[in-house]
Amino acid sequence: MVSVCIGDSITAGAAATVPFPIILANLTGDTVRNKGINGNTTTKMLARFDDDVVAQTPSRVVILWGHNDIVGSTPAATIVSNLTAMCDAAVTAGIEPFLSTILPCVNFTDAQDLILDEANAGILSYCTANDIQLLDLGCLLADPGDDHALDTEYTADGTHPNDTGHLLIGNYIYECWSYVPNVWNSLRPAPDTGSIDRSSVDRWDNSECKIGVNIGVTE
């Protein structure tokens, strides 16, 4: 089976020696193509989506993006529109999309934090309305005391996940791939609140994460 992970420097593995696509390949034994490019925005990503994802004919695609848009103060509506257009293109091509929330960053301004919150709300709304698999990585790696910052256990620079963060991301996505109905149902919005039930995230313990045996193929 072939899978693609598309994104920016986070997906590419900046600040990590073993980025999460390698961990996914090791855990699954599948070919996992890393299409992360440093500094990319969702607009640039959308422009290359056909070549870097659709043309690869994968079974599934992980879409993790948005940080550079927020740094550039791109409106949340534009970010969400680009991300959902990629999901729609994937579905049309018979590829199962897994769309991530945007990771927080301690260096964002208050105005940028508002864009982050609005964009993530739009991602949640789209996934709920269209039965798209949500990866709530923004919550998974957030500081328990500040949801606008990454937990310092998972980052050294406040922006990019470190090896521990990528290990957690890889194991989380692997579990989502393996048990999609259970994970997805646990992340659906609570009735009448419009917010995500985050309780399932509590079960994640780094001591239980595995890097996997080296049998996967990354490209």
Block mean pLDDT (10 aa), the chain, length 219: 94 91 91 94 96 96 93 96 97 96 95 95 94 92 92 92 92 81 38 38 42 43
Smallest CA-to-CA distance from 134 within 191, 200, 184 is with: 184
What is the CATH number for 44? Answer: 3.40.50.1110
CA distances to 151, 177, 189 from 93, in Å: 36, 19, 28
pTM of the model: 0.83
Task: Look at residue 177 in the predicted model and tell me its pLDDT.
Answer: 87
Task: Look at residue 22 in the predicted model and tell me its pLDDT.
Answer: 92
CA distances to 28, 56, 83, 159 from 95, in Å: 18, 10, 15, 29
3-state helix, strand, coil in the chain (%, to 5): 50, 15, 35
Smallest CA-to-CA distance from 185 within 195, 174, 175, 197 is with: 197
* Both tokens assigned to 213: 């045996």
Number of domains in the chain: 1
Range of the domain at 59: 2-218
Partners of 3 in beta bridges: 32, 60
